[in-house]
Amino acid sequence: MPAGAGMTAEGEATEATYAPFPIFSRFALHDRPFLDADGPVMFIRRFLSTAFLLALSAAAVAAEPPRLSLPLRCEPGVNCFIQSYVDHDPGPASTDFNCGARTYDTHNGTDFRVRSMRDKTRGVDVIAAADGVVRGVRDGMQDISVRVIGAAALGGRDCGNGVMLDHGGGWTSQYCHMAQGSIAVREGARVRRGEPLGRVGLSGNTEFPHVHVTIRKDGTVVDPFAYGKAPASCGGGTSLWTPEVTAALPYRSRILLAQGFADGPVSAEDLDTGRIEDRRPNRDSAALTAWVRLIGIETGDAVRLVLTGPDGRVLAENRPEASDRPKAQLHVFVGRKRPPEGWPTGRFTATVSVQREGRAVTEERFAFDLAQ
């Protein structure tokens, strides 16, 4: 890397694998539920027709929906994030409940992700979203990316290790991709809201550690962010989450998933594995970089990253190009080689912004101190 020049990388979401709409290659999951014989397309069609009926006769629907708590023990926006919502499009395109791009075709649940495999290894509990009875469990599947073993090896067990809870009144919740050996409940057991079911894992049809949660009413998929939403509307419906969760999970794009400083170029693998944590720069580092990973990038967004030295001068910045499509995730780094006189000590600062038509729509700053 030439001194002073910025360097960027966009490792993700480049080519479609098997999604017909080439947006979310890295997240083109088809995590079909393990306790239902229907294919994912059927779910969506049934979901839409039911949503339509509900809009017509909401009062006639029996059984109050359960109020749902956060299904994992974490702090939203800090160490867990929504990666994908339910797909509301009945055809081969995809749209989330807000008419945004934060979903993919046939996705029938909500994905709550952690930042890296290292976070998964440290252990994040998946917990019951409401009181219920355990109706199904599966454990014993390996924690391994479907990119490594291929979807065929799953034998249709796309959910991986999982739990299905019955909340009464036809309401169920299903939790997928949990860690091997972590399932903590047995079929038939009663569980209380917040009780651990297992831990976040990498089993089934997934490429990153997360829990996929599907809510159903009488076997039909429901979007917990927009229950009863009219099919063609943007927004609408009611949230099934508790008021606390609703407040903690505002619908957003352009979320800063992780950020930091490193001793050289940063790969997607460094971030996936969490090995980036071992690469903090020191005075001897051959290079010094700032890096960010964002999720929910929209068409037209350009991610700008600027690294500033202790004297306040800009060391490096990238020249971002506007994204030509939505991106499930994106990482960018920028930096420079060590100057002949070595790195100065003091506070290095990075500023990341998402620009649209040359104007920042979001901006965040982070820093670290290089000690003597």
Sites of contact with Zn ion (CB under 5 A):
31, 109, 111, 212
Report in angstroms how near the CB of residue 98 gets to Zn ion at its nearest. 17
What is the four-CA torsion angle of 360, 111, 32, 40, rounded to 10 degrees?
A: -40
Judged by CB, which is closer to Zn ion: 82, or 288? 82
Closest residue to Zn ion in the complex (CB)? 212
Judged by CB, which is closer to Zn ion: 207, or 277? 207
Judged by CB, which is closer to Zn ion: 31, or 298? 31
Report in angstroms how near the CB of residue 91 gets to Zn ion at its nearest. 19
Report in angstroms how near the CB of residue 122 gets to Zn ion at its nearest. 22
Report in angstroms how near the CB of residue 21 gets to Zn ion at its nearest. 16
Terminal-residue alpha carbon distance, the chain:
25
Judged by CB, which is closer to Zn ion: 33, or 335? 33
Report in angstroms how near the CB of residue 109 gets to Zn ion at its nearest. 5
Judged by CB, which is closer to Zn ion: 72, or 303? 72
Judged by CB, which is closer to Zn ion: 87, or 301? 87
Encode burial over 242-269: b for 16+ CB neighbours within 10 A, e otherwise. Answer: beebbeebeeebbbbbbbbbbbbebebe
DSSP string, 4-70: T-------SS-S-SS-SSTT-GGG------TT--S-HHHHHHHHHHHHHHHHH-GGG--SPPPPBPP
For residues 8 and 318, the answer to whether their CB atoms sit within 8 Å is yes
Report in angstroms how near the CB of residue 348 gets to Zn ion at its nearest. 37
- DSSP conformational letter for 80: B
Q: What is the spatial order of strands in the sheet that 327-337 belongs to?
A: 255-262, 287-297, 327-337
